[in-house]
């Protein structure tokens, strides 16, 4: 393995569940920007303000120490941002569980936090691709985009089959027919290209919080409530962001906390006492593995999408 361009040993004074924290940013098991190797290293490829980076993170001991190695022009930036990525900036002090299910979930997952990548375009592109399609189709679309238009990650990236997502200029240049090959329809591809055209302005949202960030994100055509929340959760670590409009979130939260599935309106009303921390409620429900029984037929990919393409 090549010598890293930077190494950081971080001792946060608390256990850090690296796998669970980095999994928040993975787009399906086949995401080419994330890998887990047999030695327990969690690999992540990203495009930082200083250039591409390959980041390998692991827990070498049970005391909470985190060892990170980085390769590429973005190594210094990624290592500086490591604590934020692993939830160090996430403050739970104002959150009251208010419900025994949430209290129990918090007790079982006391060290689980919201990490933040600080990279808005990196979060918004897969979120757009995931709009109104099955998870299988969404993950396949993003996977194909990265494989065809991304680049091998620096250092040992090619050895671990890790790729950096395409930059804004590359996204702007992808022709319409190529988006169709990626199984991304015109409405979603236009939204991705529009976001790429405003990439610099999007990255400035990192310094904005809450409703202001939501307003700025939703000012772009094709970015609605759900997409903005998904970006706020991952790029900003926003504890108040709730994915209203998701196929499962409202139903699962309602079932877990009241025994009855909610719609979005009822979920919004139910979460109001947690304003400022509303996103923590579905976060804890998901962490506890709670969801309503899936008795009905699963939503199927659209018929014109070939299964072998989706699984490629």
Locate the domains of the chain by residue range.
Answer: 6-93, 94-312
pLDDT at 52 over 50: yes
pLDDT exceeds cutoff 50 at 304: no
pLDDT-derived band at 218, boundaries 50, 70, 90: very high
- Residue 70 phi/psi, 5° resolution? -140, 145
23-46 mean pLDDT: 90
- CA dist 196 and 192 (Å) reads 6
Task: Give the homologous superfamily in CATH for domain 94-312.
Answer: Hypothetical protein; domain 2 (1.10.340.30)
Q: What percent of the chain has pLDDT over 70?
A: 92
- Position 309 scores a pLDDT of 42
- State the pLDDT at residue 312: 40
Q: Tell which phi-psi region holds residue 137, choosing left (phi > 0), alpha (psi between -120 and 50) or beta.
A: alpha
For the chain, the average pLDDT equals 90
CA distance from start to end of the chain: 28
> At 311, is the pLDDT very low, low, confident or very high (cuts 50, 70, 90)?
very low
pLDDT digits (tens, 9 = 90+) for 92-130: 999 999 999 999 999 999 999 999 999 999 999 999 999
């Amino acid at each position: 393995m090549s010598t890293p361009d930077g190494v950081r040993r971080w001792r946060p004074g608390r256990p850090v569940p690296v796998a669970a924290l980095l999994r928040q940013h993975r787009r399906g098991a086949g995401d080419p920007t994330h890998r887990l190797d047999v030695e327990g290293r969690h690999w992540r490829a990203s495009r930082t303000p200083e250039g591409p980076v390959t980041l390998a993170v692991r827990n070498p001991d049970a005391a909470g120490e985190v060892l990170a190695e980085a390769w590429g022009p973005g190594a210094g930036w990624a290592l500086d941002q490591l604590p934020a990525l692993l939830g160090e900036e996430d403050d739970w002090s104002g959150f009251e569980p208010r419900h025994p299910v949430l209290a129990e979930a918090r007790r079982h997952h006391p060290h689980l936090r919201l990490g933040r990548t600080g990279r808005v375009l990196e979060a918004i592109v897969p979120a757009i691709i995931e709009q109104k399609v099955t998870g299988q189709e969404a993950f396949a679309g993003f996977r194909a985009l990265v494989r065809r238009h991304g680049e091998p990650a620096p250092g040992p990236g090619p050895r671990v089959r890790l790729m950096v997502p395409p930059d804004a200029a590359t996204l702007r240049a992808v022709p319409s027919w190529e988006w169709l090959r990626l199984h991304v329809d015109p409405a979603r591809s236009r939204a991705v290209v529009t976001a790429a055209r405003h990439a610099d302005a999007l990255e400035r949202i990192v310094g904005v919080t809450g409703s202001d960030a939501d307003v700025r994100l939703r000012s772009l055509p094709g970015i609605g409530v759900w997409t903005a929340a998904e970006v706020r959760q991952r790029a900003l670590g926003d504890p108040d962001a709730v994915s209203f409009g998701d196929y499962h979130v409202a139903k699962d939260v309602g079932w877990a906390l009241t025994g009855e599935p909610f719609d979005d309106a009822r979920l919004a009303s139910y979460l109001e006492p947690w304003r400022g921390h509303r996103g923590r409620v579905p976060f804890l429900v998901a962490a506890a593995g709670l969801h309503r029984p899936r008795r009905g037929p699963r939503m199927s990919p659209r018929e014109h999408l070939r299964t072998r393409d989706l699984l490629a």
